[in-house]
A and B are shown apart, each in its own frame.
Chain A
Amino acid sequence: MTLAPQTTDDAAVATSPAPSQLKRRPRQFKDHGPDSLKGILVKIVLLGLVDAFAVYVMMMLFMAQSWVVLAIAAAVTVLINWIYLRKGGLPAKYLAPGVFFLVVFQVFVVLYSGYIAFTNYGDGHNSTKEDAISAIQIMAQTRVPDSPAYQTSVLDQNGELFLLFTSPEGVVTMGSATEPMSTVTDAVTDGSGKAISVPGYDTLNFNQIIARQDAILDIAVPVSDDPAQGSLRTPDGTTSFAFKPSMTYDAATDTFTDVETGATYTDNGEGAFAAADGSQLSTGWKINVGFDNFVRAFTDPTLRAPLLSVMLWTFTFSIASVILTFALGLFLAITFNRDDLRGKKVYRVLMILPYAFPAFLSGLVWSGILNPQFGWLNQTLLGGAEIGWLTDPVLAKISVLVVNLWLGFPYMFLVCTGALQSLPTELDEAARVDGAGPFRVFRSIKLPLLLVSIAPLLIASFAFNFNNFNVIYMLTGGGPRFEDTTRNIGSTDILITLVYKVAFGQGTGRDYGLASALAIIIFIIVATVSAISFKQTKALEEVNR
């Protein structure tokens, strides 16, 4: 957002008549300043634009019949207008945007993940029960084996739709949703022998068919009295086939019955239809499962063993990453902080380069550099040694840490450089006068002062590395795999990559419910660690007193 040039205010103030200024003077003691005419105009115009857009969006929502969102949008619009039109309430004017974004991007996401964590949302439980029933019914419509295809025309008589069939033998019949199959003798045929019209009926063209497609798709005309021969339906308005459902749904008892075997499938309470022998129809639906996902996260034998080691490695990885990047960044910052160093700018630019590359890309490039046989590291630097940097469990962990150090130290270098600039040089001199060596100065004076401003950033860095998906996923993909689990989890997996593998089915299908439960667990861990650390950093600030 650009700021409007300030001169307009001066102009407005200068040109505004004196009496009004006199009138406004008492108001200066309130929590808001007097508005200039221009200011009010700008306000009105901007708010008008916002409201116009809001009304447009609400109209769209009204058309789409999403009432809940419509109500929320209306409430938000009214609130925004009230905040910015009222005279007082300056804090609200400041806080509104921030609070809004916090709600949308943080609170909502956490709450939604929380909601999903209590459902069985995932492969096979993708939607509502209604959807599942209709999907099973759609898929159960199978064509009667060896039944012929009928060429079809769609006719209309006083609003009722009829299908006109021509069998491969040239027999012409017709029927509708209510009228059974009857033979037609006076049909008009085209050159190919397909019946296209019957006197007394209007033949629909393709556009008319499309306009009434839902009604046409619903027409099913039984071929004969024998239900085994199925009913004729037309999927495209030009051809019909005899379809027979392999499954029938009974709404009264809420069961599916397999026409062939006679097996009945009932709602098993777990979001699927199941038969007495336990076999399930593959399409299920989303239901609430309470704390099942959380229980599974800690009891599922394929998850339990790896979860512990993954948790440990996640902590190791994030803490080690913070310490290493901070140490290297600080060291370099101090090194390059000398006033008498030449070409400082060039060095600093070079330092920041790794930070400028997207981690995605760097991960892939490093993955190539570390290839056991063809990687540049083994080939060029180590003279053809075939070291499995990414394929040996221990080396892979080290490689991940080193690459993350390479990616992360520039950030620390930057913030440390900034923080060092702000340290008063008198302290340094005073300490030297007192006879402290350079290391002593660093340990007792510089580092504590630095930590005051940098500690919160270290905590942020920890939280970031705790969920540093890119490096792990692009570099090792979490591998090499653990031997003690059937899940595709490996020794460099951190919690977030494990969650990704669970959620996006790198093996046994997607399981959003379990993944959300794990994500909530991660959230709790990171929030706890951060809260404790922030409490600790308060102690650091006593240095300043």
Chain B
Amino acid sequence: MKLPNISATPVSRRVFAMGAFSAVTAVALSACGADNKPATSSPTPSDLAAGGASTITMWVDAERAPALKDIAAKFKAETGIEVKLVVKDFSAVRDDFITQVPTGKGPDLIVGPHDWVGKFVQNGVIAPVELGDKAAAFTATSIRAMTFDGATYGVPYSVENIALLRNKALLPAAVTTFDEVVAAGKGVVDAGKAQYAFLVGLDPKQGDPYHLYPLQTSMGSAVFGTDAQGEYDAKQLVIGGPEGIAFAKKLVEWGDTGSKVLNSNITGDIAKEEFKNGKSPYYLTGPWNVPDLQAAGIDLAIDPLPTAGDHKAQPFVGVNGFFISAKSANALATTSFVTNYLTTEDAQDSMFTTGGRPPALIASFKKAAKDPIVEAFGKIGEGGVPMPAIPEMDAVWNDWGATELDLIKGKADPATAWPKMADSIKSKIGA
């Protein structure tokens, strides 16, 4: 580099440039920290443009955004109100919403599973939605899932639950009990046509109580009891009862030290891969894996969930829906969009077409159920129970998963480990 004869100039200029840059950043950053409340204008009623100038902000994840684009466009065409879709990372939506709403910078509306509702209510960031007579148009399970403390908090749009997937090429006929499933599966393995009698994605580090729940409920054990209104009651933790211990004993029987039907080393990914390769006749999973399996050329049948005891096998049902912020500056427009637009058959149809999740609106579900797979999943869902939305549920997962994992590995005694787990959960939630 050829130095000019006045050496201070380039240096001070460089410093200056850096300083300029940092000043810009300074101001920008301080702006980031600002408490930007959208300036709400109150135009005169005759001023239509001002009325139509308002926008509704909605947080969606990338997967659902396309389905909502059309509806948003339609809403804008009819009312002049723009629905701004902000695509967020699904894993961060819940916590971001809770953090952002109090600052006034949160969205008017978000999409998510119903089991978020408890946390939202606890943090005061969500407003109830009155569906009125429209509630009857939705499946009972989906409305029950969205109901918390006697009020409806969201508009449901899809219902999800697991089912037993069967590879027709390996096993042509369906059976009902879990013992029969295992026996049929073993038959296929013994015939040398498969490697595993039965697959379910667990996790060598945390277990997976969600997928094993239908087996647990079929033995009469649940997590929380329900109150008179049919809502989960945190005060009634029933998981530690004798039925639960019976289920715990079964886990040991099915696990590493027993028949090895449940294998905790098989993660969700491995289970999917092995089933895709035709290594097992059975796979316990949800509709989210179906498209990939069909693309891999597996001839699928959706069987009812197998029972391990003499009760019904009830899976957890997850209901996706729309929730309105408690501090929405645009509450009436948002409510109108949610209750009058997103509840329509068109909207629910279009969300099914792009998302592939069975619709919560009965009319749309009937249309979607022309696909036997959707129909089968839906039928199983009708017998399911909503995933508990009470905040106390958060405290259950870890102990529950870890204990089931120990039992499957044969490292724990069901008679002591299961009640200990129940006590541990009780101490956390103060039940």
> Is B62 located at the chain interface by the 8 A CB criterion?
no
Contact: A90 with B4, CB < 8 Å?
no
The B15-61 residues at the A interface (CB cut-off 8 A) are: 15-31, 33-37, 39-40, 42-48, 50-52, 54
Contact: A212 with B81, CB < 8 Å?
no
Kindly list chain B residues whose C-beta atoms are within 8 Å of the C-beta of A452: none
> Is B213 located at the chain interface by the 8 A CB criterion?
no
Kindly list chain A residues whose C-beta atoms are within 8 Å of the C-beta of B265: 371-374, 386
Stretch from B243-251, B327-335, B359-367 at the A interface: B327-335
Contact: B332 with A39, CB < 8 Å?
no
CB distance from B46 to the nearest CB of A (A): 7
Contact: A507 with B428, CB < 8 Å?
yes
Contact of A235 among B21, B50, B130 (CB under 8 A): B130
Contact: A57 with B8, CB < 8 Å?
no
A-B contacts, CB under 8 A, total:
302
Contact of B39 among A64, A123, A134, A368 (CB under 8 A): A64
Kindly list chain A residues whose C-beta atoms are within 8 Å of the C-beta of B3: 6
Kindly list chain B residues whose C-beta atoms are within 8 Å of the C-beta of A141: 128
The B320-339 residues at the A interface (CB cut-off 8 A) are: 326-327, 330-333, 335-336, 339
Contact: B22 with A9, CB < 8 Å?
no
Chain B's closest residue to A132 (CB) is B124
> Is A193 located at the chain interface by the 8 A CB criterion?
no
Contact with B along A141-160 (1 / 0, CB 8 A): 11100000100000010000
A83 to B27, CA, bound (A): 16
Known contacts A210-B51, A391-B205; 8 additional CB pairs below 8 A are A39-B9, A39-B12, A43-B16, A73-B30, A80-B23, A134-B326, A480-B205, A509-B391
Point out residues on A near B: beta carbons under 8 Å. 1, 3-4, 6-7, 9-10, 13, 32-36, 39, 42-43, 46-47, 49-50, 53-54, 57-58, 60-61, 63-66, 69, 72-73, 76-77, 80, 83-84, 90, 93-94, 96-97, 100-101, 104, 123-124, 126-128, 131-132, 134-136, 138-139, 141-143, 149, 156, 204-214, 216-217, 235-239, 241, 243, 246, 282-283, 368, 371-374, 386, 388, 390-391, 476-477, 479-481, 486, 488, 504-510
Contact: A69 with B33, CB < 8 Å?
yes
CB distance from A45 to the nearest CB of B (A): 10
A282 to B391, CA, bound (A): 10
CB pairs A–B below 8 angstroms (12 shown): A43-B13, A66-B36, A73-B31, A97-B18, A124-B122, A127-B124, A210-B51, A213-B333, A216-B332, A237-B332, A374-B270, A481-B402
Kindly list chain A residues whose C-beta atoms are within 8 Å of the C-beta of B4: 6, 9-10, 13
A505 to B428, CA, bound (A): 12
A69 to B20, CA, bound (A): 20
Kindly list chain B residues whose C-beta atoms are within 8 Å of the C-beta of A237: 332, 336
A187 to B30, CA, bound (A): 56
Contact: B122 with A139, CB < 8 Å?
no
Contact: A138 with B12, CB < 8 Å?
no
Contact: B122 with A123, CB < 8 Å?
yes
Contact: A212 with B45, CB < 8 Å?
yes
Report which residue of A53, A69, A77, A212 has the largest number of chain B beta carbons within 10 angstroms of its beta carbon.
Answer: A69
Kindly list chain A residues whose C-beta atoms are within 8 Å of the C-beta of B6: 9, 13, 33-34, 36
Given A123-B123, A208-B46, A505-B394: A93 and B12 within 8 A (CB)?
Answer: yes
Contact with A along B390-404 (1 / 0, CB 8 A): 010011011100100
Kindly list chain A residues whose C-beta atoms are within 8 Å of the C-beta of B419: none
Chain A's closest residue to B119 (CB) is A123
A54 to B27, CA, bound (A): 6
Contact: B79 with A33, CB < 8 Å?
no
CB distance from A92 to the nearest CB of B (A): 9
Point out residues on B near A: beta carbons under 8 Å. 1-10, 12-31, 33-37, 39-40, 42-48, 50-52, 54, 79-81, 95, 98-99, 101-102, 119, 121-125, 127-130, 132-133, 149-151, 204-206, 263, 265-267, 269-270, 326-327, 330-333, 335-336, 339-340, 391, 394-395, 397-399, 402, 409, 424-425, 427-429
Contact: A94 with B15, CB < 8 Å?
yes
Chain A's closest residue to B45 (CB) is A208
Kindly list chain A residues whose C-beta atoms are within 8 Å of the C-beta of B54: 210-211
A368 to B149, CA, bound (A): 43
Contact: B48 with A208, CB < 8 Å?
yes
CB distance from A128 to the nearest CB of B (A): 7
Given A33-B6, A123-B122, A283-B124: A390 and B205 within 8 A (CB)?
Answer: yes
Chain A's closest residue to B324 (CB) is A235
3 A-B pairs with the lowest CB-CB distances in the bound complex, closest first = A33-B8, A135-B124, A211-B51
Given A211-B45, A235-B335, A374-B265: A510 and B102 within 8 A (CB)?
Answer: no
Given A63-B39, A283-B123: A236 and B332 within 8 A (CB)?
Answer: yes
Given A33-B9, A241-B130: A139 and B23 within 8 A (CB)?
Answer: no
Given A13-B6, A141-B128, A477-B206: A4 and B13 within 8 A (CB)?
Answer: yes
Given A139-B128, A207-B51: A508 and B123 within 8 A (CB)?
Answer: no
Contact: A64 with B35, CB < 8 Å?
yes
Given A69-B30, A93-B16: A50 and B24 within 8 A (CB)?
Answer: yes
CB distance from B384 to the nearest CB of A (A): 25
Contact of B42 among A60, A138, A214, A481 (CB under 8 A): A214
A124 to B125, CA, bound (A): 10
Contact: A53 with B24, CB < 8 Å?
yes
Kindly list chain A residues whose C-beta atoms are within 8 Å of the C-beta of B124: 126-127, 131-132, 134-136, 139, 283
Report which residue of B17, B44, B47 has the largest number of chain A beta carbons within 10 angstroms of its beta carbon.
Answer: B17
Contact: B35 with A50, CB < 8 Å?
no
Kindly list chain A residues whose C-beta atoms are within 8 Å of the C-beta of B17: 1, 46
Kindly list chain B residues whose C-beta atoms are within 8 Å of the C-beta of A479: 205-206
Contact: A72 with B30, CB < 8 Å?
yes
CB distance from B96 to the nearest CB of A (A): 12
CB distance from B342 to the nearest CB of A (A): 12
Contact: B12 with A235, CB < 8 Å?
no
A134 to B121, CA, bound (A): 12
Chain B's closest residue to A135 (CB) is B124
Contact: B10 with A131, CB < 8 Å?
no
Given A64-B35, A72-B30: A156 and B45 within 8 A (CB)?
Answer: yes
Kindly list chain B residues whose C-beta atoms are within 8 Å of the C-beta of A49: 20, 24
Kindly list chain A residues whose C-beta atoms are within 8 Å of the C-beta of B50: 211
Kindly list chain A residues whose C-beta atoms are within 8 Å of the C-beta of B130: 143, 235, 241, 243
Contact: B51 with A208, CB < 8 Å?
yes
A514 to B135, CA, bound (A): 42
CB distance from A34 to the nearest CB of B (A): 6
Kindly list chain A residues whose C-beta atoms are within 8 Å of the C-beta of B44: 211
Kindly list chain B residues whose C-beta atoms are within 8 Å of the C-beta of A480: 205
CB distance from A336 to the nearest CB of B (A): 33
Contact: A96 with B397, CB < 8 Å?
no
Contact of B26 among A9, A80, A241 (CB under 8 A): A80
Contact: A76 with B42, CB < 8 Å?
no
Contact of B22 among A54, A100, A124, A210 (CB under 8 A): A100
Contact: A508 with B395, CB < 8 Å?
yes
CB distance from B119 to the nearest CB of A (A): 6
CB distance from B123 to the nearest CB of A (A): 4
A304 to B168, CA, bound (A): 54
Contact: A64 with B12, CB < 8 Å?
no
A39 to B10, CA, bound (A): 9
Contact: A57 with B21, CB < 8 Å?
no
Contact of A9 among B9, B150, B327 (CB under 8 A): B9
A373 to B195, CA, bound (A): 14
Kindly list chain B residues whose C-beta atoms are within 8 Å of the C-beta of A209: 51, 332
Chain A's closest residue to B21 (CB) is A1
Chain A's closest residue to B274 (CB) is A374
Report which residue of A4, A208, A504 has the largest number of chain B beta carbons within 10 angstroms of its beta carbon.
Answer: A208
A58 to B34, CA, bound (A): 10
Contact: A83 with B19, CB < 8 Å?
yes
Report which residue of B18, B26, B151, B398 has the largest number of chain A beta carbons within 10 angstroms of its beta carbon.
Answer: B26
